[in-house]
Amino acid sequence: MQLQITQSQLLTPHSAIKSVYLVTLQHPQGERLSYQPGDWLTVQAVNPAGLVRQILERLNLSGSEVVRLRKAGEVSVSDALGRHLEITQLNPAILNKMQRQLQLGEWSGRAAMIEYAYGRDILDLLTEFPQMAQMGIEFLDWLAPLAPRYYSIASASDKTVQVLFKAVRYRFNDREKSGVASNFLAGLSCGDLIEAEFKENPMFKLPDDPLTPIVMFGAGTGLAPFLGFMQQRVQQANGGDNLLFFGETEKAHACLCCDQLEEWKAAGRLDLFLAFSRDQADKRYVQHLMQEQKEKLWALWEAGAVIYICGSQQHLAPALEALWQKWFMEELGLDASAALALWQQSRKQKRIQLDVY
């Protein structure tokens, strides 16, 4: 499906370390969009032209050579590297194959391959293993198809769809790196068309009954689906309680969509709790706010509230999971394994829903 950009907003200042964007899209002919808050939009991006050029040089190819790809069929090498193959990420499967088939590399196992791959791209691989570059056009067979990237939908309208994303930019091996999809999206202007798809996420859905209270926990771009949830919940004149616990780095530079959040709060539709981790000497995170509001949150849990967690799989989610299980132990007199079982059962029953990445 093609979608057209109608608005692109940089929410963080240009000077900030992180650049977060809110992009709005619509069907080019204005057709109705069919998704629900909590679903994802997948984006098929185009690789950075500069990186494609450098890889062509390293492989000693002009780009006009023709290659046959499993999915795309016959395309030029430039097109293959630009649109069809992963080059900004180094898939550890390539390292595994190199070690098995060519006896290259000295990784001790899968974990070592994952660690080596993190931050490296295909150009790094060709630099560090010139034997691979000598393969020329044959090297393209080693590359994975360019995967669509997932973005949590940050809206609830059948006319437009919004995504909230961080442009992935970092420095590694003395080179400035840019994630393919996030920077492709960040570089688009109004009127541009992209290839995208809606993907259903039945495990992250608002309760059928609008009177059921909801408690949302998010950090960083983990705010995204909650913008959609709130847009949906405020459409009902009288709904259940909506609580949002949101964490970011600094209030001045990274209070994502805070005007909108404050508007919902002022209208009496949202109980808003904000944690800024870098605005004081000690880290202040979402789980600290959660602990401060224990009485209120436990009462809501007992009243049947649905709990949502969105953001980092490595940091936010484990911290919140640990705290909820601690509360199950404290409040219900459970031991650790029973608290874990209750957590798992609550997830199965969709009382607790996670969208983490």
Ligand X SMILES: Cc1cc2nc3c(=O)[nH]c(=O)nc-3n(C[C@H](O)[C@H](O)[C@H](O)COP(=O)(O)OP(=O)(O)OC[C@H]3O[C@@H](n4cnc5c(N)ncnc54)[C@H](O)[C@@H]3O)c2cc1C
Ligand Y SMILES: NC(=O)c1ccc[n+]([C@@H]2O[C@H](COP(=O)([O-])OP(=O)(O)OC[C@H]3O[C@@H](n4cnc5c(N)ncnc54)[C@H](OP(=O)(O)O)[C@@H]3O)[C@@H](O)[C@H]2O)c1
What residues line the site for ligand Y (CB under 6 A)?
166, 168, 179, 219-222, 247-249, 277-278, 283, 285-287, 311-313, 315-316, 319, 357
Nearer to ligand X, 182 or 232 (CB): 182
Nearer to ligand Y, 180 or 305 (CB): 180
Q: Residue 319 Cβ, how far from ligand Y at the closest point, in Å?
A: 4
Nearer to ligand X, 11 or 274 (CB): 11
Calpha distance 189→83 (Å, rounded)? 19
Nearer to ligand Y, 122 or 319 (CB): 319
The one among 8, 69, 72, 150 contacting ligand X by CB under 6 A: 150
Q: What is the DSSP letter of 147?
A: P
Nearer to ligand Y, 59 or 297 (CB): 297
CB atoms inside a 10 Å sphere around CB 232:
18
Calpha distance 16→36 (Å, rounded)? 32
Q: Within 13 Å and on the Cβ side, how many CA atoms surround 267? A: 17
Establish if 315 lies at the interface with ligand X (CB under 6 A). Answer: no
Calpha distance 352→262 (Å, rounded)? 25
Residue 109: strand, helix, or coil: coil
Report what 172 binds from ligand Y, ligand X, none; CB cut-off 5-8 Å by kind.
Answer: ligand X
CB 48 within 8 A of CB 12: no
Nearer to ligand X, 223 or 290 (CB): 223
# binding residues, ligand X (CB under 6 A): 23
Q: Residue 227 Cβ, how far from ligand X at the closest point, in Å?
A: 10
Calpha distance 317→196 (Å, rounded)? 28
Q: Residue 149 Cβ, how far from ligand Y at the closest point, in Å?
A: 9
Nearer to ligand X, 20 or 300 (CB): 20
The residue at minimum Cβ distance from ligand X is 179
Establish if 151 lies at the interface with ligand X (CB under 6 A). Answer: yes
Q: Where are the beta strands (DSSP E) in 201-251?
A: 214-219, 242-248
Q: Residue 82 Cβ, how far from ligand Y at the closest point, in Å?
A: 20
- List binders of ligand X among 156-185 (CB under 6 A): 164-166, 168, 170, 172, 179-183
Total residues found in the chain within this entry: 357
Report what 37 binds from ligand X, ligand Y, none; CB cut-off 5-8 Å by kind.
Answer: none
Report what 224 binds from ligand X, ligand Y, none; CB cut-off 5-8 Å by kind.
Answer: ligand X
**Cross-strand partners of 197:** 42
Residue 309: strand, helix, or coil: strand
SS (H, E, C) 158-175: CCCEEEEEECCEEEECCE
Q: In terms of C-beta distances under 8 Å and separation of at least 24 residues, what long-range contacts does 311-316 make, across chains too?
A: 311/217, 311/218, 311/219, 311/220, 311/221, 311/222, 311/247, 311/356, 312/219, 312/220, 312/222, 312/356, 312/357, 313/356, 313/357, 315/219, 316/217, 316/218, 316/219, 316/222, 316/247, 316/285, 316/286, 316/356
Report what 219 binds from ligand Y, ligand X, none; CB cut-off 5-8 Å by kind.
Answer: ligand Y
Output the six-digit token pair for 237: 């004149």
Q: Residue 116 Cβ, how far from ligand X at the closest point, in Å?
A: 10
Report what 315 binds from ligand Y, ligand X, none; CB cut-off 5-8 Å by kind.
Answer: ligand Y
Nearer to ligand Y, 277 or 346 (CB): 277
Q: Residue 44 Cβ, how far from ligand Y at the closest point, in Å?
A: 17
Q: Which residues bind ligand X (CB under 6 A)?
A: 40, 88-89, 118-119, 149-152, 164-166, 168, 170, 172, 179-183, 221, 224, 357
